[in-house]
A and B are shown apart, each in its own frame.
Chain A
């Protein structure tokens, strides 16, 4: 049990590339923190530095108040679960789980007792005499977890532990990991590239990009109040819609019509160096079929009409894809996100809009449909630096705030 503090931790490789830059992070005792970001963002390097598998170029790492920069992994008393599981193939499940205890020179009886206990927690008791080669992916994953929990370390580090499992098992194991962490109350740092895992598992989520921390906070806060374009685009599935918006006569001209602005945003745009073009972001659930919106709500938003491209009925609600005319939003962050999602070469004319409408909506493919969206929930980003202009003291206030 211990807290982990990263104080301006950086990693610079001998060839000059900077993998991690000045990461400041305080992880409280017993906290479950997720490091998330696209591949190459430095999350795994950060984890390896905490583990001691990678040297820290500059900055300080403290575990339980003690500086551990120069300590070997074995002297840090932390356990790690690897993406590849890294089970010892020449040992049985029991021997695998007992390995850290044997290295710690515990007596045989204690080892057996601890292994049996951990095996029971993870439902591995019947598999103890098998070898890793004869286990399924999910079972191997559990053995890897068992090897980590068996010696009750100060902290767990998990490097994408679920990414080799199939989708269904991954959801199941997610709850196992979550329950286990709550039960043991051990400080955990978990690396993933999957934003769903990040949202569902962690007490706090750290979003990284290009070696730098973008935002740290509880999942809901990141979702509702993204500090910048990257965070907004990375968190959420389907992801936030981004539209090009031109500043004109105290309002915004967008593909969805003219958006009025509240005093606060307007004041911000009056500055001499303020951008003339913005990126407007709206989450899919902040759209609604205009027919289904009552008058009171209608006043808080704006309506537009667009041709329906595709309707995906999920039962509980409908995902409706529209094509809207006008310029596409463009920014380095958006390109990076698209590249990470493997969709960089996928582009149609105009902008694509994903909306989540009520299941009652009679929307059909090929039609044109009137859609309402909530102005209080939109975000405005500066395309040059990605900053969220609607954010005030850490809260997103929409376009109309005074």
Chain B
């Protein structure tokens, strides 16, 4: 017994240290950016982790420039619309895949996997040409469409895993209780798959929010330019001003929606929502 507790304590310490290392590795750059965003131009390069002189000037600067605010609106709008569409379409597709046996099911799953695996860089030039021909270049739909395309496989995979966990008897019971297929899905299956829907929504949103490649290729003006791209075009008020502080502030600002998004939906991502449905 004694040796048993000893090993578990030691194992716990070992794991604790390892976890700490990973967290530090992941968080230090983020905190560094946050720290830089509060520094004055003079102390920017002093190498201190905690700023000696605090200032909010950087934040004021970015919100003063029309460029950034406009990009922020583009980002939020495009990411939200793409997420909504991808999750709704993905849910329907995933439901069909997990519940029905139809000819070509394997092919459908295979093709969606193929899309997810295709290197996006190789598609950017053709997409650029296509969108220019279709007049989609530098518009919101011009970004939303490719985002949906690449987010859908992800959505379908995550969601079908969730749908498979839901006991099929529930759907049968709903049908026996007088529900149509649609009612059974909306009133019984979807509420139970909610954690899956939220998880998928978060993943898709982050994918759209973070994308740089499509955004820089398929936009040219503020009409549809998203924040990650806008950041790269950031310059100071004048040519001689160092925009580092402002870029850092902008980086912090665009991280906030993601954190809020996750925190807001985290409460809903509770496992075991289906407990009590069947047996006991």
Residues of B within 8 A of A72 (CB): 175, 180
Contact indicator per residue, chain A 63-95, by CB within 8 Å of chain B (1) or not (0): 000000000111000111011111111100000
A window 134-173: CB within 8 A of B: 134-137, 140, 147, 151, 157, 164
Residues of A within 8 A of B276 (CB): 87, 89, 131-135, 140
Interface-facing stretch out of B54-62, B166-174, B229-237: B166-174
**Which of A3-11, A17-25, A97-105, A177-185 makes up part of the contact surface?**
A97-105
Bound-state Cα–Cα, A100 to B178, Å: 6
A84 to B173, CA, bound (A): 10
Q: Which residue of A lies closest to B188 (CB)?
A: A88
Residue of A83, A103, A137, A140 most packed against chain B (CB within 10 A): A103
Knowing A84-B167, A100-B178 touch, does A53 contact B172 (C-beta < 8 A)?
yes
Q: Which residues of B contact A87 (CB under 8 A)?
A: 173, 276-278
Chain A residue contacts of B187, Cβ below 8 A: 99
Contact residue among A80, A133, A140, A164 (Cβ-Cβ distance under 8 Å from B173): A80
Chain B residue with Cβ nearest A75: B178
User: B179 at the A/B interface (Cβ < 8 Å)?
Assistant: yes
Q: Which of A74, A80, A133, A137 contacts B179 (CB 8 A)?
A: A74
How far does the alpha carbon of A85 sit from the alpha carbon of B173 in the complex, in Å?
9
Selected contact of A78 from candidates B167, B169, B173, B176, CB within 8 Å: B176
CB of B149 within 8 Å of the partner chain: no
A164 pairs with B280, CB closer than 8 A: yes
Q: Would you call A51 an interface residue if the criterion is a C-beta within 8 Å of the partner chain's C-beta atoms?
A: yes
Partner of A82, one of B169, B183, B280: B169
Q: Of residues 138 to 166 in B, which have CB atoms within 8 Å of A's CB atoms? A: none
Rounded to whole Å, the gap between the CB of A306 and the closest CB of chain B is: 45
Find out whether the CB atom of B277 lies under 8 angstroms from the CB atom of A132: yes
Minimum CB–CB distance from B48 to chain A (whole Å) comes to: 52
B191 is contacted by which of A51, A74, A85, A90 (Cβ under 8 Å)?
A90
Known: A86-B167, A137-B279. A80 touches B273 (CB 8 A): no
Q: Known A86-B167, A89-B192, A90-B191; judge A147-B277 contact (CB<8 A).
A: no
Alpha-carbon distance between A151 and B192 when the two chains are bound, in angstroms: 25
Given contacts A74-B179, A99-B177, contact A89 B277 (CB under 8 A): yes
Nearest-neighbour CB distance to chain B for A102, whole angstroms, equals 9
The reply to whether B192 and A90 contact each other, CB–CB distance below 8 Å, is: yes
User: Is B238 in the interface zone, CB < 8 Å from A?
Assistant: no
Q: Does B275 contact A (CB under 8 A)?
A: yes
For the complex, give the distance between the alpha carbons of A147 and B277 in Å.
14
A98 to B172, CA, bound (A): 17
B274 at the interface (CB under 8 A from A): yes
User: How far apart are the CA atoms of A78 and B173 in the complex, in Å?
Assistant: 11
**Given A84-B278, A137-B279, A140-B280, A89 and B175 touching (CB < 8 A)?**
no
Report the minimum CB–CB distance from A277 to chain B (whole Å).
46
Whether the pair B169, A164 counts as a contact (CB closer than 8 A) is no
Task: Specify which chain A residues have a CB less than 8 angstroms from the CB of B279 in the assembled complex.
Answer: 84-85, 137, 164
Residue of A nearest to B166 (CB): A89
- Say how far A152's CB is from chain B's closest CB, in angstroms: 13
Cβ 8 A contact of B180, one of A74, A99, A135, A137:
A74
Contact yes or no, B172 A86, CB < 8 A? yes
Contact B175 A86 (CB under 8 A): no
Partner of B172 from the list A82, A100, A137 (CB cut-off 8 Å) is A82
Partner of A88 from the list B170, B172, B175 (CB cut-off 8 Å) is B170
Given that A84-B167, A87-B277 are contacting pairs, would A74 and B178 also be in contact in the complex, using a CB cutoff of 8 Å?
yes
Cβ of B191 and Cβ of A86 under 8 Å apart? no
Chain B residues lying within 8 Å of A100, measured Cβ to Cβ, are 177-178
Give the complex CA separation of A82 and B279 in angstroms: 10
A88–B180 Cα gap in the complex (Å)? 16
Contact B280 A137 (CB under 8 A): yes
Q: How far is the CA of A277 from the CA of B158 in the complex (A)?
A: 62
Question: Contact at A80–B176, with CB atoms within 8 Å?
Answer: yes
A136 touches B170 (CB 8 A): no
Check if A104 sits within 8 Å of B274, measured CB to CB: no
Contacts of A86 in B (CB 8 A): 167, 169-170, 172-173, 277-278
Q: Give min CB distance, A55 to chain B, whole Å.
A: 13
CA distance A164 to B170 in the complex (A): 17
**Using Cβ atoms and an 8 Å threshold, which residues of chain A touch B277?**
84-89, 132
- Give, as a whole number of angstroms, the nearest-CB distance from A94 to chain B: 14
Minimum Cβ distance to chain A for residue B193 (Å): 10
Pick from A79, A89, A134, A135: contact of B176, CB below 8 A. A79
A-contacting residues, B187-225, CB 8 Å:
187-188, 191-192
Q: How far does the alpha carbon of A74 sit from the alpha carbon of B170 in the complex, in Å? A: 14
Closest partner residue, chain A, to B183 (CB atom):
A103
Most A Cβ at <10 Å: residue of B176, B274, B276: B176
A interface residues with partner B (beta carbon < 8 Å):
51-53, 72-74, 78-80, 82-90, 99-100, 103-104, 131-137, 140, 147, 151, 157, 164
What are 12 contact pairs spanning A and B, CB under 8 A? A72-B175, A80-B172, A80-B173, A82-B278, A84-B278, A87-B278, A99-B177, A134-B276, A136-B280, A140-B276, A157-B176, A164-B280
Extra inter-chain contacts (18) besides given A74-B179, A88-B277, CB under 8 Å = A51-B176, A53-B176, A73-B175, A84-B279, A86-B169, A86-B277, A87-B173, A87-B276, A88-B173, A89-B273, A89-B276, A90-B188, A90-B191, A90-B273, A99-B174, A99-B187, A140-B276, A164-B279
> What residues of chain B have their CB less than 8 Å away from a CB belonging to chain A?
167, 169-170, 172-180, 183, 187-188, 191-192, 273-280
